[in-house]
Amino acid sequence: MTTAEIQAAVKAIYEQQVNAEFGKGRYALFFKPGTYGTPEKPLLIDVGYYTEVVGLGRSPGDVVINGHVNVYNRCLGTDDKGNPSNCIALNNFWRSASNLTIKVAGGKDCQAVTNFWAASQAAPMRRVDVNGKFSLMDYCSAGPQFASGGYIADSRVTGTDVVVSGSQQQYMIRNSEIPGWSNGVWNQVFSGVKGAPATSFATTGPDGKPANPYTTLPTTPVSREKPYLYLDAAGEYQVFVPGVKTNSSGVSWANGPESGGKTLPLSGFFIARPSDKVATINSALSAGRGILFTPGMYDIDQTLLVNKPGTVLLGLGLATLTAQGGAVPVKVGDVSGVSLAGLTIDAGPVNSPVLLQIGNNGGAGGNASDPVALHDVFFRIGGPGVGKATTSLIVNSNNTLLDHIWAWRADHGDGVGWSINTADHGVIVNGDDVTATGLFVEHYQKEQLIWNGERGQVVLYQNEMPYDPPTQTAWMNGALLGYPAYKVNNSVNAHQAWGLGSYIFIESGADIHATHGFEVPKKPGVKLTSLLTVQLNVGHGTIDHVVNQTGPATIPPADQKEGSTVVSLKQYPE
């Protein structure tokens, strides 16, 4: 295909998807190994909702884009002169880019020679090699706007300019390489990132205000990269499932294709389409086949049962599974090595007890050398329409890896209201030795996250409390005001977490309080580092303490920089 043909195709998809926040279109743009565009005639790819841009090489260098792969602010209107207005990035969700090299070229005005990825939750970059300027804030489309919740893994940025974080309120970057980082707003976490800034969370800068809120771990405790589809030298499609790493840093592909994983031929997969019945997909699962969900919307009226070790469920183009009739869309048994990746799971109008369950109730599944892993799995309660689910994700299996999860009870869209899109909890972890890297849980009506397992590890946790409690009486946890964003059960003896933020915004106008953002047992083995609470709108909504009875009440942020902080658990009275 010529550059002009590709440009026309991607432009048509973008124009359809740029404002389709709750639309039904799902697209994957696959690039076979090769070079696309030239510095003189660059390929400019703008990425809208439910669009995945993917290279099909074994390594990111096998697919080279001379040009851009951009996410800009979404402009919702025009001013009286016809210029774009009401441009925002806070709702730039549900899109991704992976497994390719971007040699930044082309563009006009302030867009020239800078690749923009002004995205918020559920918009990951993985296995991307950016050669040139890279900004996570769009300062072109009607000026900078806040973005929230980004995630980058196994990626590299080369050049002399630092990565521009700009207006990103919080960000997670894992096992990557960067030339530096420009700034932070509330919470920026680096785990196993070469070139990352030193930890400076809650320290004071020369202006007397908090310095950049960085939390840096030199290595990632436990990780497994996301499985990916590729074309081998013979032109055959394969799926590569990376192996488990402990205490790692940098990209997995620095010295060529990574080793230690396994290659699965496409013949071992059932290629699912939205028209397929659940019973047909379950037959393939029971026969030991993986599932490749092609882009689209899938109605799930009975549970997809994953009971074979090593099964891979890989969604393409943000494939979406919607519960029907109160069904539990997916259950994984007490088996090892299962990977679920690239899937969005929606609640339906009839309440589901859970949307995804990992391991049987009371089971002892889980394997440290071959764990169950979730990558880019997103949950929605409301938004596209009425949705109800008691809990979005329950993890019973030990050693499970949660690598970029967004569990979202919708605060806007269709089917939204305190008694309409009902949901108690986002995530409940019962298994031991579970590790989460990039855990985003928002707006649930009771405890957002409950952690019952031992030796859990969380690297970045981002939360917003529910926007819509109508009264304080409607949002009470016994004698406590409201519910915590993050609760570790009192029976837990060991738990560790880094980079935790909870924010409160009340749109009902009621005076709503939460007793604390985080609730944990006061035990030597429970260690939290870099905690933050923020009041987002003046006069409505207060988190009275950061963690238990420690940390001051939230105050409105000045210049979006200040919040209430607790640097570490060591500040506790033991």
For the stretch 516-546, pLDDT in tens is 999 999 999 999 999 989 888 766 789 999 9
Does residue 133 have a pLDDT over 60?
Answer: yes
Residue 206: predicted pLDDT: 65
Does residue 279 have a pLDDT over 70?
Answer: yes
Name the 3-class secondary structure at 10: helix
Residue 102: predicted pLDDT: 98
- Rounded to the nearest angstrom, the gap between the alpha carbon of residue 76 and the centroid of all alpha carbons in its chain is 24
Query: What is the β-pairing status of strands 84-88 and 74-78?
Result: antiparallel
CA angle centred on 544, ends 460 and 455, rounded to 5°: 35
Separation of alpha carbons 278 and 335, rounded Å: 21
Give the HSE-up count for residue 448: Cα atoms under 13 Å, Cβ half-sphere.
Answer: 29
Residue 112: predicted pLDDT: 79
Mean pLDDT, rounded, for 320-334: 98
CA angle centred on 430, ends 424 and 433, rounded to 5°: 135
For the stretch 352-367, pLDDT in tens is 999 999 999 988 789 9
Looking at residue 83, the DSSP 8-state letter turns out to be -
Question: What are the start-end ranges of the H helices in 356-487?
Answer: none
Mean pLDDT, rounded, for 164-174: 94
The three-state (H, E, C) secondary structure of 129-174, written as one string:
EEECEEECCCCCCCCCCCECCEEEECCEEECCCCEECCCECEEEEE
Separation of alpha carbons 518 and 566, rounded Å: 11
CA angle centred on 478, ends 356 and 351, rounded to 5°: 30
Separation of alpha carbons 133 and 113, rounded Å: 6
* pLDDT band of 569, cuts 50, 70, 90: very low
Separation of alpha carbons 11 and 296, rounded Å: 20
> Residue 186: in which H helix or E strand, if any?
none
- Rounded to the nearest angstrom, the gap between the alpha carbon of residue 208 and the centroid of all alpha carbons in its chain is 33
Residue 537: predicted pLDDT: 78
Does residue 154 have a pLDDT over 80?
Answer: yes
Residue 121: predicted pLDDT: 97
Residue 574: predicted pLDDT: 26
Return the bridge partners of 313, or none.
291, 340
Separation of alpha carbons 511 and 344, rounded Å: 34
Separation of alpha carbons 154 and 516, rounded Å: 35
Residue 556: predicted pLDDT: 62
Does residue 561 have a pLDDT over 60?
Answer: no
Among 487-496, 514-523, 524-533, 555-564, the minimum mean pLDDT is found in: 555-564
Decide if 464 is catalytic: yes
For the stretch 235-268, pLDDT in tens is 999 999 999 999 999 999 999 888 889 999 999 9
Mean pLDDT, rounded, for 397-410: 98
Given the structure tokens 């990746």, which residue do they identify? 341
Residue 552: predicted pLDDT: 85
Residue 539: predicted pLDDT: 66
* Largest interatomic CA distance in the chain: 67
Task: Please check whether residue 342 is in contact with residue 376, taking contact to mean a CB–CB distance below 8 angstroms.
Answer: yes
Residue type, 47: V
Task: Please check whether residue 318 is in contact with residue 295, taking contact to mean a CB–CB distance below 8 angstroms.
Answer: yes
Span between the terminal Cα atoms of the chain, in Å:
66
Q: 404 in the Ramachandran plot: left (φ > 0), alpha (ψ -120 to 50) or beta? A: left
Among 5, 3, 27, which Cα is nearest to 15's? Answer: 27
The model's pTM is: 0.96
* pLDDT band of 348, cuts 50, 70, 90: very high
Name the 3-class secondary structure at 57: coil
Q: What is the mean pLDDT of the chain?
A: 93
Does residue 209 have a pLDDT over 60?
Answer: no
Mean pLDDT, rounded, for 44-61: 97
Residue 80: predicted pLDDT: 83
* pLDDT band of 564, cuts 50, 70, 90: low
Mind giving me the DSSP string for 501-539? EEEE---S----EES-SEE----TTEEEEEEEEEE-STT
What the block records as the tokens of 158 is: 């080369």
Cβ-proximal residues to 375 (8 Å cutoff; 6+ apart), any chain: 225, 226, 227, 339, 340, 341, 342, 403, 404
Does residue 457 have a pLDDT over 70?
Answer: yes
Determine which one of 464, 507, 519, 574 is catalytic: 464
For the stretch 365-384, pLDDT in tens is 899 999 999 999 999 999 99
Given the structure tokens 């990574």, which residue do they identify? 258
Among 154, 89, 162, which Cα is nearest to 124's? Answer: 154
Task: Please check whether residue 391 is in contact with residue 353, taking contact to mean a CB–CB distance below 8 angstroms.
Answer: yes
Task: Please check whether residue 216 is in contact with residue 184, taking contact to mean a CB–CB distance below 8 angstroms.
Answer: no
Burial of 539 (0-12, 13-18, 19+ CB in 10 A): exposed
* pLDDT band of 76, cuts 50, 70, 90: confident
Any long-range contacts for 272-278 (C-beta under 8 Å, 24+ apart)?
272/298, 274/298, 274/299, 278/302, 278/304
